[in-house]
Amino acid sequence: MTAVVLYGPPTAGKDTLTAALSAADPRFRLLTKLKQGTGRSTGYRFVTEDELSELREQGRLLVETRRYGNVYAVDRDSVEAPQRRGLVPVVHMGNVADLRALLAATTTQWLRVLLWVPKDVCEARSRRRGDRDTAKRLTAWDETARDLLDSDLRDLFDVVVRTDAVEPETAAKKIVAVLDVQTSARPPGEVRAVLDSAP
């Protein structure tokens, strides 16, 4: 595999696991998404609506997502440039449609990781880190859970991690260990089993 995609609801630990991956192996680098809007800047490069439109016209946008009143996008160059330097980009995703769009838009071999936490853990983590939009995060958790339950999960995830039960360093070691080996996608039943707290 030459890239990693982490899928999960808000507060599932995508940032924390990405940091643990980088600490475990310097090849891992968080892909900087484009963001048009307001809010948190960590992990994003802010662009104007005109800049986003120009990149769209050039065919460089692999995925576009609208959430929290913002537009988030993945620029093809931000995936391919690190790979040319022998690095492993790590991309964060929050819905199945965008995940499948990303997989279909590139020839990259993605290691696909599902991160999950129960809703009460999501709320506790959001409040602990001082989010001002915890209610929106919980709505996004509901949407992510429903998205998974309503989706065809065949051949979608290679690794499944409950981040409230596994330390980030342990999860990172597991991902590093399977990155360079042939893996089989987790069966849909195994994926659904991790959603035991979903509505």
- Proportion of the chain above pLDDT 70, given as a percent: 97
Q: What is the predicted pLDDT for the residue at 94?
A: 83
> Phi-psi region for residue 130, left (φ > 0), alpha (ψ -120 to 50) or beta?
left
pLDDT, mean of residues 23-48: 91
Lowest-confidence pick of 28-42, 44-58, 71-85 = 28-42
pLDDT tens-digit map of 99-156? 999 999 998 999 999 999 999 999 999 999 888 889 988 998 999 999 999 999 999 9
Q: What is the predicted pLDDT for the residue at 112?
A: 96
Place of tokens 């600490």: 23
Which pairs count as long-range contacts for 183-188, CB under 8 Å and 24+ apart, including other chains?
A: 183/1, 183/111, 183/158, 183/159, 184/158, 185/112, 185/154, 185/155, 185/156, 185/157, 185/158, 186/114, 186/157, 186/158, 186/159, 186/160, 188/152, 188/153, 188/154
Helix ranges (H only) for 74-128 are 76-84, 96-105, 119-128
pLDDT tens-digit map of 152-177? 999 999 999 999 999 999 999 999 99
Q: What is the predicted pLDDT for the residue at 184?
A: 82
Which pairs count as long-range contacts for 77-86, CB under 8 Å and 24+ apart, including other chains?
A: 78/31, 78/32, 78/33, 79/3, 79/31, 79/106, 79/108, 82/29, 82/31, 83/2, 83/3, 83/108, 86/27
- Proportion of the chain above pLDDT 90, given as a percent: 74
Place of tokens 């709505």: 139
Lowest-confidence pick of 55-59, 69-73, 129-133 = 129-133
Domains annotated for the chain, with CATH where assigned, are: 3-31+77-193 (3.40.50.300)
pLDDT, mean of residues 14-31: 95
Q: What is the predicted pLDDT for the residue at 198?
A: 47
- Residue-averaged pLDDT of the chain: 91
Q: What is the predicted pLDDT for the residue at 41?
A: 82
pLDDT at 199 over 60: no
